[in-house]
A and B are shown apart, each in its own frame.
Chain A
Amino acid sequence: MQILAVDDDPIILELLKQFIDAIGNHDVTTAESGLEALDVIEAHDPDHFECFLLDIQMPGMDGIELTRQIRGLEQHADTPVLMLTAMTDKRYIDAAFAAGATDYITKPFEVAELTARITLVEGLVQARNSRTKKIFATQSMPEVGNSVAIFEPFSIYDVDNVIDYMAMENYVTQLSRNALFGSTTFAFTIREVQEFHDVMTSFEFYSMVSDIAEVISDTLSGKQYLMSYAGSGTFVCVTESGWRPAVSQLMDAINLSLATTELYDNNGARLQPRVSVGESVRLIWKASTSVLEALGVAHSSAEAAADAHIKAKKNLWTLTEGQTA
């Protein structure tokens, strides 16, 4: 991979070079400030850099603002950004993830830790690139069916507080690692998502999911949270600062907003998706594996709520038909 490392401390840059050279198969370019980094990116081919390692705390433009600027570049919307931080202050870490960071590495770091993270990122990026290509390949070919499996998570761009699912997993793992408490996870599932998926192209499905993400994001505006699309029509949210939502009211507000939002498929037919919400699960005092399990519980309960809603609707139809017969 071609890696751009940015840190105002020359010792960190030298360390990164030595450690990454030791891993092999990667080239490191360095910059000592955010502004220099942007110049370096501009001086290379648009898709030259495949991974960024950014210090959070730098004089002038800090790593959070630099991440925001990098994410604003079309070719780097998906490029992994690993933050380097000595900070344990959750505010900086939350801001870094909200700005688009993929993960973070705590300083001082060891070669084994850096190797593990970079190897992981490399593998996941290859898998994600393949998915993204499948989605956008059908943008100009609506006759092609849905080539992205329903269970696959994908990246949603330019929606406030929506981050990549891989970044979400890293975020909650780090939360527990640093014993940061007070967060809650819950999830929304698009009702009858399988039916939507079956009749839509990958791009139509992607567009609908992105639009729903935007509606949810607008509804949650002003709250402290991060959200990601976890696949199977489910959005997983993690709240911050002790906010625990009244999920049922939240679902009603989202569905009301969806009802007034005009969504259409490629043939101009009106789409009327609705979501169900599952139980909210507190992340307090959980080990990292348990935190990931908590996300899974939130995900499953939202899917179960969506299924229960459909079943209840069908039962109601059966009852109504029985009465009219």
Chain B
Amino acid sequence: MNDVAPGLERVKMRFLAMLQDREQQIAQHNLLTRNAKSEVEVTENLSGSRNILHQISGTAGSLGFAELGSFARDCENAIIYCLEQPEGQSVKERDLVLDAIDGFVEDCRNLIAAHE
């Protein structure tokens, strides 16, 4: 088997570069969800965050960022749970999920800073 390490390092760098863009998108979706005027807007923005978190959770672990990947998966599952609830669900419950996503965004920023 060939050495996978040099190639993996390049992929890791690209992941971190993309992570910067992805965490900004998630932060934006989170803000729009908090300020949403309708359930449609909530669903659209939560779905947007879910899709990005899904991508992060699928790759972070393979690149040595298992903790971040696991956090992304937990946030993704929490959003899926929220989206499956009937309209008019507890706002407090949704706010807890949004708080967790804010925490995830912060972890992304810390990880990026640590690798600069």
Where the two chains meet, the residues of A that have a C-beta atom closer than 8 Å to any C-beta of B are 8-12, 14-15, 17-19, 21-24, 57, 59, 84, 86, 107-111, 115
* Nearest-neighbor residue (CB-CB) of A8 within chain B: B55
Most buried by A among B10, B11, B54: B11
| Most chain A CB inside 10 Å of its own CB: which residue of B3, B4, B66, B73 | B4
Closest CB in chain A relative to B86 CB, distance in Å: 20
14 contacts between A and B (CB under 8 A): A8-B55, A10-B14, A12-B55, A15-B8, A17-B7, A18-B4, A18-B7, A21-B4, A24-B1, A86-B57, A86-B58, A108-B61, A108-B62, A111-B4
Whether A15 contacts B59 in the complex (CB less than 8 A), given A57-B54, A86-B54, comes out as yes
- Which of A11, A15, A19, A23 has the most chain B CB atoms inside 10 A of its CB? A11
Tell me if B's interface is mostly helix, strand, loop or mixed. Answer: helix
Evaluate whether A110 and B62 lie within 8 angstroms (CB atoms) in the complex, with A24-B1, A86-B54 already known: yes
A108: which of B1, B8, B59 is its contact (CB, 8 Å)? Answer: B59
> Once the chains bind, are B14 and A14 in contact (CB under 8 Å)?
yes
How far apart sit A297 and B4, CA to CA, in the bound complex (Å)?
A: 43
Shortest CB distance A126–B (Å): 21
One of B4, B55, B66 near A11 (C-beta < 8 A): B55
Expressed in whole angstroms, the minimum distance between the Cβ of B26 and any Cβ of chain A is: 15
A-B pairs under 8 A by CB, number = 68
- Which A residues lie within 8 Å of B4 (CB)? 18-19, 21-22, 111
Among B64-100, those with CB < 8 Å from A are: 66, 69, 73
B2/A24 in contact, CB under 8 A: yes
Distance, CA A11 to CA B8, complexed state (A): 10
Asked if B59 and A18 sit within 8 Å, CB to CB, the answer is no
Using A11-B11, A22-B4, A24-B2 as known contacts, say yes or no to A108 and B60 having CB atoms under 8 A apart.
Answer: yes
In the A-B complex, the 4 residue pairs with the smallest Cβ-Cβ separation, listed nearest first, are: A108-B61, A107-B58, A18-B7, A22-B4
